[in-house]
A and B are shown apart, each in its own frame.
Chain A
Amino acid sequence: DTGVSQDPRHKITKRGQNVTFRCDPISEHNRLYWYRQTLGQGPEFLTYFQNEAQLEKSRLLSDRFSAERPKGSFSTLEIQRTEQGDSAMYLCASSPLGWSGGADTQYFGPGTRLTVL
């Protein structure tokens, strides 16, 4: 296991098209996070899964965004009817269950860079 992987690494699409990204977490990591990073900003939280359950979604995640994690393994993030403002780096991170009372360490993937023309 070489870490969190994401596919594709780059995606160029036209406005109005749908896109789907995939994240494969580190094996046996039951927590999975999606973040979005735009130029000059730090990553911003989008959504979080514990196993297959999506437990929290940011207000940044509009109705055009949907994420799934079937069977608690890989996850997909779909953006429908893309807009130019969706252009960003989409990062996935995974972590094991943290020890009692502590936040878990998140391991990040390389990201998927989306460009919407």
Chain B
Amino acid sequence: AQRVTQPEKLLSVFKGAPVELKCNYSYSGSPELFWYVQYSRQRLQLLLRHISRESIKGFTADLNKGETSFHLKKPFAQEEDSAMYYCALSSTGANSKLTFGKGITLSVRP
């Protein structure tokens, strides 16, 4: 069975501080990992996916298969980063259903 664990519910940092949102997964095959973000009163949207290896809004995430982790990082947090962040896993194949973690609230204080 596939599972995504986000061990923390809330992370509160000051503007300019580094951010690391943790995500661990379990999956028997070769998964694809995603980070989705939900800003206040907005819909869930894709932030980044591991296969693209992009940096979006200053965020990066590296897939570590040995540690089965996909932590999201940003060196200098901005107030506009305050949102709910969900780590998600998808199997490859016909049904790319997503398995989500419980999410973490990031609060960036001025």
Chain A interface residues (CB < 8 Å from chain B): 3-4, 31, 33, 35, 40-45, 48, 50, 55-56, 91, 93, 95, 98, 101-111
Contacts and interface: CB of A to CB of B under 8 A. Distances in A.
Interface size class of B (residues with CB under 8 A): 20 to 34
A48 to B, nearest CB: 5
Q: Which 4 A-B pairs have the closest CB atoms?
A: A42-B100, A103-B96, A103-B90, A108-B44
Contacts, number: 59
28 contacts: A4-B43, A31-B96, A33-B97, A35-B98, A41-B103, A42-B86, A42-B88, A43-B44, A43-B86, A44-B100, A55-B95, A56-B95, A56-B97, A91-B44, A93-B98, A95-B96, A98-B96, A102-B32, A102-B51, A102-B92, A103-B91, A105-B46, A105-B49, A106-B46, A106-B98, A107-B46, A108-B43, A108-B44
Interface string B2-43: 001000000000000000000000000000100010000001
A43 B45 CA distance: 13
Contacts of B49: 105
B94 to A, nearest CB: 7
Contacts of B4: 42
Contact of B43 (A31, A40, A48, A111): A111
Contacts of A109: 43
A56 B96 CA distance: 11
Given A42-B86, A108-B43, A108-B44, A55 B100 contact: no
